[in-house]
């Protein structure tokens, strides 16, 4: 079965006065129909640039290599017009801050209806009706009245529901959600995540969820892609990543989840050190300067992709059968 989305060997750079930032370096992954895939990693890991490239938001001149296939069709070098068509009909996007996606001077209903009319041959009245149905679908009470209100008359959570309604207007096969709940308070976060889960099932769509919150990953996703320093360092099912992680960076991320049951460990445990300098990424493993298990080979040679089990891969030399066991490092006081 072919995948809904395939990203292969993607490489994205940005020229700056200080040199060329290698933001995404040889990134490959796939998303199947109907699955939720989370991309996790710290700021600067390349996760947002990766999805922005999928959405056609990165200028072609910055894309140095790779392929992106959607539904079997190459989309990396589509014209602006073709990309707009694809975004309006098959791929939807929800950003972190709903206010950046909404026009503050236009009534909510009109914003949804305009999006519908741009891509579907519906009359004004039909588009209005569909917009109201969408507002109901995303759980906005009194949808007919709310249709005539402006964004500032909605709370943050309600605005994010509207953004989701706009993204769903054309029944997308893929929804890309970039930190969709980060700007919201905890109770509203849970409501929005429940809404997305519910809609994903109802509409059988796929979701790429960008987040730095592993609690959200556990709640929403089936598979996880862990990114670090512009590369994919580990990928697997939620079970693989939470129960059998095979990369020291993933171990660090998991340790940074506050443990509510252990009073001693309520505080986040940050991963020591800073992300790599993407002007001149290390020749070997990008995590080596922060990794307590770094070996000589790690500094010299970029780690191979080790296949741990079906669909579970990790780019870390510790997975080489010839590598010392982690216990040996611990015994040596690392």
**Residues lying near ligand SF4 in the complex (CB under 6 A):** 247-248, 285, 287-288, 291, 293-295, 298, 303, 316-318
| Six token digits for residue 23 | 């933001």
| 213 and 253 Cβ atoms separated by less than 8 Å | no
Count of other CB atoms within 10 angstroms of residue 114: 16
Instruction: Give the residue from 187, 188, 207 showing the smallest Cα distance to 197.
Output: 207
Q: Name the pairing type of β-strands 91-94 and 174-178.
A: parallel
Is the CB of 70 or the CB of 287 nearer to ligand SF4?
287
In terms of CB distance, is 132 or 298 closer to ligand SF4? Answer: 298
Instruction: Give me the least distance between CB of 325 and ligand SF4, in Å please.
Output: 12
d(CA 257, CA 277): 25
Q: Given the complex with ligand SF4, which of 253 and 294 has the nearer CB atom?
A: 294
Tell me the C-alpha distance between 250 and 330, whole Å: 18
For ligand SF4, the closer of residues 151 and 276 by Cβ is 276
**CB of residue 283 to ligand SF4, shortest distance in Å:** 12
Minimum distance of ligand SF4 from residue 287's CB (angstroms) = 4
CA–CA separation, 272 and 284 (whole Å): 19
* Least distance to ligand SF4, CB of residue 286, Å: 8
Between 140 and 294, whose beta carbon lies closer to ligand SF4?
294
Nearest approach, Cβ of residue 234 and ligand SF4 (Å): 10
Distance between CA atoms of residues 198 and 142, nearest Å: 20
């Amino acid at each position: 079965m072919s995948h809904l989305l395939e990203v292969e060997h993607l490489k994205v750079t940005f020229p700056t006065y200080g040199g060329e930032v290698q933001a995404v370096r040889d990134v490959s992954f796939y998303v199947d129909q109907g699955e939720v895939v989370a991309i996790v990693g710290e700021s600067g890991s390349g996760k947002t640039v990766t999805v922005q490239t999928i959405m056609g938001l990165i200028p072609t001149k910055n894309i140095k290599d790779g392929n992106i296939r959607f539904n079997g069709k190459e989309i990396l070098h589509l014209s602006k017009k073709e990309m707009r068509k694809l975004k309006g009909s098959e791929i939807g996007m929800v950003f972190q801050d709903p206010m950046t996606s909404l026009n503050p001077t236009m009534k909510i209903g009109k914003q949804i209806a305009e999006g519908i009319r741009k891509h579907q041959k519906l009359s004004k009245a039909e588009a209005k009706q569909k917009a109201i149905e969408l507002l109901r679908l995303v759980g906005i009470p009194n949808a007919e009245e709310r249709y005539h209100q402006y964004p500032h008359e909605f709370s943050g959570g309600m605005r994010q529901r509207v953004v989701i309604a706009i993204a769903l207007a054309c029944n997308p096969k893929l929804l890309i959600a970039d930190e969709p709940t980060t700007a919201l308070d905890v109770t509203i976060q849970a409501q929005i995540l429940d809404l997305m889960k519910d809609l994903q099932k109802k509409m059988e769509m796929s979701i790429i969820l960008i987040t730095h919150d592993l609690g959200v990953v556990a709640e929403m996703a089936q598979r996880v892609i862990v990114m670090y320093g512009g590369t994919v360092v580990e990928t697997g099912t939620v079970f693989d990543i939470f129960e059998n992680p095979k990369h020291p960076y993933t171990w660090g991320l998991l340790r940074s989840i506050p443990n509510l049951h252990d009073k001693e460990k309520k505080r986040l445990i940050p991963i020591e050190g800073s992300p790599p300098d993407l002007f001149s990424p290390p020749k070997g493993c990008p995590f080596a300067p922060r990794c307590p298990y770094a070996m000589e080979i790690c500094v010299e040679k970029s780690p191979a992709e080790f296949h741990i089990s079906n669909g579970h891969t990790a780019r870390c030399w510790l997975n080489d059968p010839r590598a010392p066991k982690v216990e040996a490092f611990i015994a040596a006081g690392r």
